[in-house]
Structure 1
Amino acid sequence: MGYVEKPMLLVNGIRLIDMAVNEVERAGLDAIFVTSRFTERTEKYLMDRGLEVFRGDGTGYMQDIQKALAEYRLTHPVLTLNSDLYYVVEGVVNRILSHYFAVDTPALTTVYPDGRHVGINIFDPIFGEQEEEKVILDESTVINIDTPADLERALWMSTLRREKDW
């Protein structure tokens, strides 16, 4: 988006990072928020809220996740959420977790009907390459905000949600 850290974007008065925090808390999960030198405002915001933060070196999303996994010595399934998601429907993470525990694959990824990745994944760090279950979500559930048009769609959906008291 160029002008602001995406996790700090406001949609209907709520920061995208707060939406992720709310989904994690709603699911009752412990969380480690992975940041980098590119998300310093987000990092400070999370730390000011007393949340656990691990700073990666910013070489790439998965590289930073892998470094956090190693630092915390995590050996159980891990849920990753991109911090630029607008949750149109609350409780999406709970739905994804329920689906994950009902299948036999060690990994799960969420995709839109056209195959684009949503940004919610579960994998087991003790395995290397993993067979993954794909869960199809549409943008009436969660919007990955990558472009100004995505942000406009999220703003529109939040207005509909507020007006209709979804």
Structure 2
Amino acid sequence: MLPTASRRVNRRCFRGGGGDHPWSPNTGWWVAVKAVFQGLIMAGGKGTRLSHGLEKPLTEIAGRAMIQYPLSALGDSKLVSDVHVAVSRFTSKTEEYVRKMGVKVIRTPGAGYVEDVKSAAGNVGLCSMIVLGADLPLIDGEAVDEVLNHYSKACKHALTVVSPLKDVLKIGLRPSCLIKHRGGTYVPCGVNVLDTGCMDEPFIEQEVMVTRDLRMMVNVNTRSDLAVAERLLLSRGSTQGRLTGGQREVGG
């Protein structure tokens, strides 16, 4: 989740991969009608909580390297034009793996999530970008497009996806990062959208999308998380990828 504040920035920041978007006189924002987004997968972290001698993005789950799932999701999205993977000195094997697949690779300092996102965004250039963790094994193209459509309608500079803590605990995950939002406790899902042209602004208005969708809620950080994710992946035909109650979205 990128640092934000709730004050509107008075500059045109919203751009898409396909060029400028129409100006909306009602909102004072550039509005994306059929925006084409860049996709970025963050795969440069140390992954120490999943320590087993293998880089976290290459950890096998249900017969595939974990990074394959977000790669497939971005590839299947109807709104993402290009896919990039951010690596660091901590994930040299992951870099080698994705380069062999022909995926665009960006080297980052490995200094932390926010710092590495900024570094990667600087390499991609001005665009609207969805950022996924490499540890989202249930994510798919449909879920990606749901997030991007929400972002476009919100007309804010950034969006972060979170899930209610009680629902995350219900499926057996034990998150280490929690945030407060409108009086509730939530878990960041590792799914963010941002306008790279606004990353250096002192104030950025951010939309918060709350979801109970397993495709975004399952984020693997520990070995127990890995077991939960594999169980859900293997049974997703019967669970249909969601908890009862479906998806709920809340504005920031």
Shared fold (TM-score, shorter chain, > 0.5): yes
Is contact 1:88-1:157 (8 Å) kept?
A: no
Is contact 2:74-2:141 (8 Å) kept?
A: no
Provide closer, same or farther for how the CA distance between residues 63 and 136 of structure 1 changes in structure 2, counting only shifts above 3 A.
same
Partner of 1:141: 215
Distance 2:119 2:143 in 1: 26
Provide closer, same or farther for how the CA distance between residues 147 and 138 of structure 1 changes in structure 2, counting only shifts above 3 A.
farther
* Aligned mate of 1:157, from 224, 232, 235: 232
Distance 2:117 2:95 in 1: 15
Q: Deviations over 1:113-164 (max 9, x none)?
A: 12111001001122223111111223622311011221111011012126x4
Distance 2:61 2:211 in 1: 20
Provide the identity percentage. Answer: 27
Q: Secondary structure at 1:86's aligned position in 2?
A: coil
RMSD across aligned C-alpha pairs, in angstroms?
A: 1.9
Any gaps of 5 or more consecutive residues in structure 2? Answer: 1-49, 166-185, 241-252
| Deviates most, 86-95 or 28-37 | 86-95
Question: What is the identity, as a one-letter code, of the residue corresponding to 1:156?
Answer: R
Q: Secondary structure at 2:91's aligned position in 1?
A: helix
Question: What is the identity, as a one-letter code, of the residue corresponding to 1:157?
Answer: L
* Aligned mate of 1:5, from 55, 68, 71: 55
Distance 1:78 1:125 in 2: 7
Provide closer, same or farther for how the CA distance between residues 38 and 53 of structure 1 changes in structure 2, counting only shifts above 3 A.
same
Which has the larger share of helix?
A: 1
Is contact 2:108-2:120 (8 Å) kept?
A: yes
* Aligned mate of 1:60, from 112, 116, 121: 112
Distance 1:95 1:136 in 2: 12
TM-score (norm 2): 0.61
Q: Secondary structure at 2:86's aligned position in 1?
A: strand
* Aligned mate of 1:21, from 59, 65, 71: 71
Is contact 2:55-2:93 (8 Å) kept?
A: yes
Distance 1:122 1:47 in 2: 24
* Aligned mate of 2:87, from 25, 31, 35: 35
| Deviates most, 129-138 or 105-114 | 129-138
Q: How many aligned positions are there?
A: 164
TM-score (norm 1): 0.89
Question: What is the identity, as a one-letter code, of the residue corresponding to 1:11?
Answer: I
